[in-house]
């Protein structure tokens, strides 16, 4: 084993977090190589971003697989073929089964646009606004078998303004996402994260 950090990034849509991670790898902030970008949708803008950066990319179209297990097997096969050591979910809008999580146990990260454990799920900003909290933010966590429930690596708080709608809040949170995800991946790739049960200790 070479000890090289090999990233496989999974996206479903526009890929702005992918972009910030690609830039952080390019600048040397993250000591890793991005081996492959995979999407579950053929029209994901993330594919164009990967192509522009000359990074191998492919769509594993969920619609072409009979069931979740077949789809996840195809994903795992691509990740293995590329020698991926760390799976990064960057706006990947599917819940991975325990089968997938087991394959990459402790080596899958996700970003969620709220301060977990509050407002997990697919409509974080809508739920934040409906509830009336004054602070939201973003969370980077390791993925376990539950939804948005794995050990938390880093969080940034973002104020909720009185006149916010989903778009304005999402935009303010996204600015922080683009800083936080590269930072968490950097720490992981530098061996500075130690997971102890639910707690992720950051080693200095």
| Interactions with ligand GRF, residue window 142-181 (CB under 6 A) | 174, 177
Shortest Å, Cβ 21 to ligand GRF: 9
Give the whole-angstrom CA distance, residue 16 versus residue 109: 16
| Interactions with ligand GRF, residue window 44-73 (CB under 6 A) | none
Query: Can you tell me whether residue 179 is helix, strand or coil?
Result: helix
Contact 101, 25 (CB under 8 A): no
Quick check: 137 binds ligand GRF (CB under 6 A)? no
Burial class (CB in 10 A: 0-12, 13-18, 19+), 72: buried
Shortest Å, Cβ 22 to ligand GRF: 11
Quick check: 111 binds ligand GRF (CB under 6 A)? yes
Shortest Å, Cβ 3 to ligand GRF: 28
Catalytic status, residue 57: no
Stretch that binds ligand GRF, among 9-17, 35-43, 48-56, 78-86 (CB under 6 A): 9-17
Give the whole-angstrom CA distance, residue 170 versus residue 154: 18
Contact 6, 188 (CB under 8 A): no
Return residues touching ligand GRF (CB under 6 A). 11, 13-17, 90-91, 111-113, 174, 177
């Amino acid at each position: 084993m070479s000890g090289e950090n090999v990233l496989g990034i999974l996206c479903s849509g526009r890929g702005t977090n992918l972009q910030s991670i690609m830039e952080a790898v390019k600048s040397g902030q993250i000591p890793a190589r991005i081996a492959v970008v995979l999407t579950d949708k053929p029209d994901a803008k993330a594919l164009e971003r990967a192509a522009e950066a000359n990074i191998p990319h492919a769509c594993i179209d969920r619609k072409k697989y009979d069931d979740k297990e077949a789809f996840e097997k195809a994903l795992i096969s691509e990740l293995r073929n590329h020698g991926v050591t760390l799976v990064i979910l960057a706006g990947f809008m599917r819940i991975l089964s325990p089968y997938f999580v087991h394959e990459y146990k402790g080596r899958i990260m996700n970003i969620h646009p709220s301060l977990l454990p509050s407002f997990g799920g697919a409509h974080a900003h809508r739920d934040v606004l409906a509830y009336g909290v004054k602070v939201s933010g973003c969370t980077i966590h390791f993925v376990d078998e539950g939804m948005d429930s794995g050990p938390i690596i880093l969080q940034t708080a973002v104020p909720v303004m009185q006149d916010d709608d989903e778009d304005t809040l999402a935009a303010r949170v996204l600015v922080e996402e683009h800083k936080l995800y590269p930072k968490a991946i950097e720490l992981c790739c530098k061996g500075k994260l130690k997971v102890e049960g639910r707690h992720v200790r950051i080693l200095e």
